[in-house]
Amino acid sequence: MASLWRSIVESIRPEQSESTDQVDREAPEANEQNDNQEEQADDSSEEVDIIADDQTPPPFPALNSAQRASAVGEARVVDSPRDQGQSPARAMGPPSLTPAPQRNPQASARTARQGPPGRLAPATSSTSGLGSQPSNGSRPLPVFNFSNVTPSARSRPTPQSSSSLPAPTTAPSSLAQARRKREKVALEPGYSQLDWANLKNSGKDLSGRPPGVPPVRITLEELKKHSKPEDAWTALGGKVYNLTPYLRFHPGGVKETMRCAGKDGTHLFNITHMWVNYDRMLANCFIGYLVPPGVN
């Protein structure tokens, strides 16, 4: 019986090794391709490192990024955002938080453990709020859908998973639409942002307070009385500013700025452009502190 087995095994072995050799001989190009892909992926991570070292925020994705390069030819990626009237970020779309149907649960578990390519932090079990799926029946693994992030050479999503997602290009943001409709305000000569910066840096007091008078406490009733362009006050973050000197310098126009005159403009300001540092910009226009309603 044992000798029978030995003879069967020996008769099979040479064929196996031959067929493996054959695969190796037949597919040198494929191997080379794989090597190239590995190299490309390594190159791209180097590129990401270089970009990440630079502190200047690049347009997303960067024109020379591996992400953009690997997406060439895909329908939803817009090559030139300006030509298409879209921002690159919109064309690519942010990662979706909606868990996508996974064809291969093992692969999804691997992705969840290892995270996406590049420098994003890997998902951990603490992110299980993003949607959990039991992997081998016992431990639930976090599932984060990276499938509409432009794939690298290693992790291109299957046609099925990408088609099940809403195409980012079909979801125009209302903010972007509003921006397109809005007309650009032409500032008068001598009223550019640079002119304002120069005026501010001159140290001139633009608050309109009599010289030597310290910052005052201002009630909402008092604030209401100052709602005309020649005498416009607003409260931002609890501080009251004289808007009148700034009106003609405002890139969004006088009319828009006047919408927060005579009242607390914090919310309107923040929903418009919360990245603008009003405290620094209007430092010379500071009048005093807003008295919260109900406080004397």
263 binds ligand HEM (CB under 6 A): no
Which range of residues in 61-69, 108-116, 153-161, 259-267 is near ligand HEM by CB under 6 A?
259-267
Number of residues that bind ligand HEM (CB under 6 A): 21
Residue the block writes with tokens 């009599």: 210
For the sheet with 216-218, list strands across it. 216-218, 286-290, 239-242, 231-236, 227-228
Cβ(41)–Cβ(117) below 8 Å: yes
Comparison of 62 and 187: residue with beta carbon closer to ligand HEM: 187
In single-letter form, the type of residue at position 247 comes to L
* Residue among 71, 109, 110, 108 at smallest CA distance from 88: 71
DSSP-assigned letter for residue 213: P
Q: Given the complex with ligand HEM, which of 207 and 234 has the nearer CB atom?
A: 234
The CA distances from residue 290 to 9, 221, 232, 241, in Å, are 91, 10, 15, 10
Binding test (CB under 6 A) with ligand HEM, winner from 234, 242, 244, 284: 234
Q: C-beta of 265: minimal distance to ligand HEM in Å?
A: 5
Which residue stretch of 40-48, 101-109, 208-216, 248-256 sits at the interface with ligand HEM (rule: CB under 6 A)?
248-256
Question: According to CB under 6 A, which one of 65, 108, 207, 257 is a site residue for ligand HEM?
Answer: 257
- Indicate the residue among 142 and 265 with the shorter CB distance to ligand HEM: 265
Selection from 94, 39, 44, 96 nearest residue 68 by Cα: 44
Based on the shown chain and the rule CB under 6 A, indicate whether residue 278 belongs to the binding site for ligand HEM.
Answer: yes
The binding site for ligand HEM (CB under 6 A) comprises 184-185, 234, 243, 246, 250-252, 256-257, 259-260, 265, 268-269, 272-273, 276, 278, 281-282
